[in-house]
A = this chain, B = another copy of it.
């Protein structure tokens, strides 16, 4: 059965970016540290990271990829990532949540969809019996949590305190329980997998 899995990386103090993120500044000051785990170690904004996840990080990613049927991401995340160079980097359909679906570039593998509910519905359909990955940003994940649309929450905690930035749970004032599905740790991340209880 298809599940909607929200997946995101935070610092220990709960930020998905460092201070002063934005166009040309990546994930802000220190924000690159959040994703050391994706690239097998330290990298910087000055050079494109070339490494790959290793060990527990690779196993975690491989597990997620094996279940991946479709991806949903917010328009801001799409823009911040500069459209991943102009084409969908995932081997599955990618749905971009936006209020302006008419902005969709042609032939890039991105489907622009008006609103989160429709994006998740389209992604569920596209995913077959695999899962829908809700990759953020934080606002999209908060909206889906509020709407009861998230089945599982995969939180990766990078070993850094950033002291500022955008908080995953900023302004989120609802309470819900979680059930542990597992945890793995590498030198660069602690990956905690939760089921969302309702």
Q: A: which residues have CB within 8 A of B?
A: 12-14, 18, 29-30, 33, 145, 153, 155, 157, 159-164, 167-169, 172-180, 182-183, 185-187, 190, 192, 194
Contact = CB atoms under 8 A, between A and B. Distances in A.
A13 B12 contact: no
Given A14-B14, A29-B175, A178-B12, A192 B194 contact: no
A186 B179 CA distance: 10
A92 B132 CA distance: 51
A172 B14 CA distance: 12
Given A29-B175, A163-B175, A180-B190, 15 more contacts: A12-B153, A12-B155, A12-B169, A12-B178, A12-B194, A13-B169, A13-B172, A14-B169, A18-B175, A159-B178, A159-B180, A160-B176, A161-B174, A161-B175, A163-B173
A190 B179 contact: no
A69 to B, nearest CB: 26
A180 B123 CA distance: 36
B180 A183 contact: no
A185 B183 contact: yes
B180 A174 contact: no
Contact of A179 (B29, B157, B159, B161): B159
A162 B172 CA distance: 9
Contacts of A145: 161
Nearest to A30: B175
A103 B187 CA distance: 45
A3 B162 CA distance: 23
24 contacts: A12-B153, A12-B169, A12-B194, A13-B168, A13-B172, A14-B14, A30-B175, A33-B177, A160-B176, A160-B178, A161-B174, A161-B175, A161-B176, A161-B177, A161-B178, A162-B175, A163-B175, A179-B187, A180-B186, A180-B187, A180-B190, A183-B183, A185-B192, A190-B190
